[in-house]
Amino acid sequence: MSVFEHPSFDNHEKVLFATDDATGLKAIIGVHSTARGPAVGGCRFWSYENSEAALNDALRLSQGMSYKNVMADLPIGGGKSVIMKPAGAFDRDALFTAFGRAVDTLGGAYITAEDVGVSPADMVSVRKSTKFVTGLPEGEAASGDPSPVTAEGVFRGIKVSAERAFGSRDLSGKRIAVQGAAGHVGAYLCRHLSEAGAELIITDINEPGLCKLEAELGATVVAPDAIYDQQADIFAPCALGSIIKADTIGRLKVKVVAGAANNQLATRDMGAELQKRGILYAPDYVINAGGIINVMGEISGDFDPKWVQGKLDGLEKTLGEILDRAESEGRPSNLVADDIARARLENARAQKAA
């Protein structure tokens, strides 16, 4: 297993491997950059096949958080953590409290929050052992579950993308395929899309959640793997990453890929492959920044919904600029976004060093 040579190592400032025998904790915390402030990013709780898969996720997600936070022009750096779900029985509260102890050893260089598999209640457990935690359900300036705001940002990103691809932001009658529809972000997004008049095709591996949504929104349900084959206008990946890859890209029949999942492209060259096929890609870390924007409101200690809305307006503008530049330069949108993010981070590093 390589660390320094890993393609997403990208000069991570720190990577912490934390274990705790008593609770079964095995966690990896990536601190990619603190050039603009403490590294902020969620904690993922997942059944990884092995520690290499967990490290890969931690590094890719952590680097992605730096890019996301700088693109949203937030005064924070980027980091992320993963906890490998123990195979047998475990005490969830004790596990997350132990994770909090690991976070605390970084002395504020990393501030955690929710990601896939983690709830605001888990953050309460983390809070027992560190103050470097956000996304708490209550307390001063508590911002709670970030998912509704993430979903709103993705919804706005979909409308900007629709304007480019179809000449209008109006989503009524548009067929939109949503992967991970029963998830925290997916369900809120589906409700926005349904209200906007879109025709939904949904999938999830959580069948009861999916059935509930089907009944609520009258959506068409398809099997998880069939989502790639749908004759639709827009594909919104809202489950896990690396789903746009060699064996799925050729199956897509949509004109737009825009969703909440982090690291949707398995490799950076998938952006060029989408472009070749005439599919507009809304870079994931640009349009899924709503949650971190919401969390930022909590970190600042003065949660202001108006500020959050202003930042979501900024997200739409940034996406528009990226898509303009991608079009005028004839380059894939993901590479244009990465260039902008890296230049801003370099600038911040230089300013910090000066």
Closest by Cα among 252, 265, 237 to 337: 265
Applying CB under 6 A, does 115 fall inside the site for ligand NAD? yes
Applying CB under 6 A, does 79 fall inside the site for ligand NAD? no
Cα–chain center distance at 239: 10
Token output for 143: 């911002």
**Under DSSP, is residue 158 helix (H, G, I), strand (E, B) or coil?**
helix
The nearer residue to ligand NAD, 207 or 329, going by C-beta atoms, is 207
Question: Exposed, middle or buried: residue 172 (CB in 10 Å: 0-12, 13-18, 19+)?
Answer: exposed
The nearer residue to ligand NAD, 137 or 346, going by C-beta atoms, is 137
The nearer residue to ligand NAD, 213 or 335, going by C-beta atoms, is 213
For 163, residues 6+ apart whose C-beta sits below 8 A from its C-beta are 169
Token output for 31: 């601190």
Applying CB under 6 A, does 233 fall inside the site for ligand NAD? no
CA angle 186, 202, 114 (to 5 degrees): 20
- Single residue of 204, 298, 316, 338 touching ligand NAD by CB under 6 A: 204
Q: In what order do the strands lie in the sheet with 280-281?
A: 220-221, 199-203, 175-179, 234-237, 256-257, 280-281
Give the binding-site size for ligand NAD (rule: CB under 6 A): 28
Q: How far is the CB of 241 from ligand NAD (least distance, A)?
A: 6
Q: Which stretch binds ligand NAD (CB under 6 A): 98-106, 175-183, 248-256, 329-337?
A: 175-183
Closest by Cα among 319, 331, 327, 253 to 289: 319
- Single residue of 291, 316, 318, 336 touching ligand NAD by CB under 6 A: 291
Token output for 10: 């990208």
**Under DSSP, is residue 89 helix (H, G, I), strand (E, B) or coil?**
coil
Applying CB under 6 A, does 38 fall inside the site for ligand NAD? no
- Single residue of 130, 150, 194, 334 touching ligand NAD by CB under 6 A: 150
Q: Is 68 a catalytic residue?
A: no
Applying CB under 6 A, does 224 fall inside the site for ligand NAD? yes
Q: How far is the CB of 150 from ligand NAD (least distance, A)?
A: 3
Q: Which of 26, 68, 80, 255 is catalytic?
A: 80
Q: Regarding beta strands 43-46 and 77-84, do their DSSP bridges make them parallel or antiparallel, or are they unpaired?
A: parallel
Q: How far is the CB of 19 from ligand NAD (least distance, A)?
A: 24
Applying CB under 6 A, does 161 fall inside the site for ligand NAD? no
Chain residues 237-266 in contact with ligand NAD, contact rule CB under 6 A: 238-241, 260-262
Residue 140 gets which letter from DSSP?
T
The nearer residue to ligand NAD, 199 or 204, going by C-beta atoms, is 204
Question: Rounded to the nearest 5°, which phi and psi values hold at 111?
Answer: -120, 125
The nearer residue to ligand NAD, 205 or 211, going by C-beta atoms, is 205
Give yes or no for a contact between 63 and 78, defined as CB atoms under 8 angstroms apart. yes
- Single residue of 112, 194, 242, 288 touching ligand NAD by CB under 6 A: 288
Residue numbers at the binding site for ligand NAD (CB under 6 A): 115-117, 146-147, 150, 179-180, 182-186, 203-206, 209, 224, 238-241, 260-262, 288, 291
Which are the catalytic amino acids?
80
